[in-house]
Amino acid sequence: MARPEKHILVCTHERPDGDPKGCCRAKGGADIRDAFAKEFEARGLWGRFKLNTTSCLGACDHSPGTLVYPEGVMYGELTAEDVPRIIDEHLLGGEPVEALKVPADVWS
């Protein structure tokens, strides 16, 4: 297998009901993963990009979250409808989608 251009990590972490942090799974993380998979299949992008689910990415206030490497760009508060834009502008176009990024201080 060739090294992919980018890795897309979609948080599907699950917490108990009522947890104050909430969880990406309950906020649509699995829907985001499925949207990436559907778009990758339709566009023939499997192999060029690698899609993985992950546990908590640490940006719970902005869930559901997705992290794109090697750039380390974190997207948050996503819906499945945001996925084609991320693919078009960031993965294929090389420009992160500023409007969908989490605030820079999330890493503080």
Kindly report, residue by residue over 12-70, the tens digit of the pLDDT.
988 888 877 778 888 889 999 999 999 999 999 999 999 999 998 888 888 899 999 99
Q: Where are the domains of the chain?
A: 6-107
Between these two residues, 49 and 2, which has the higher pLDDT value? Answer: 49
Which amino acid makes up residue 45?
L
Q: Which two tokens stand for residue 97?
A: 């989608």
pLDDT at 58: 85
* Beta carbons of 22 and 78 less than 8 angstroms apart: no
Strand pairing class (6-11; 49-54): parallel
* pLDDT band with cut points at 50, 70 and 90 for residue 108: low
Is residue 86 classed as helix, strand or coil in its secondary structure?
A: helix
- Report pTM: 0.92
Superfamily of domain 6-107 in the CATH hierarchy: Glutaredoxin (3.40.30.10)
Q: Which two tokens stand for residue 77?
A: 């508060």
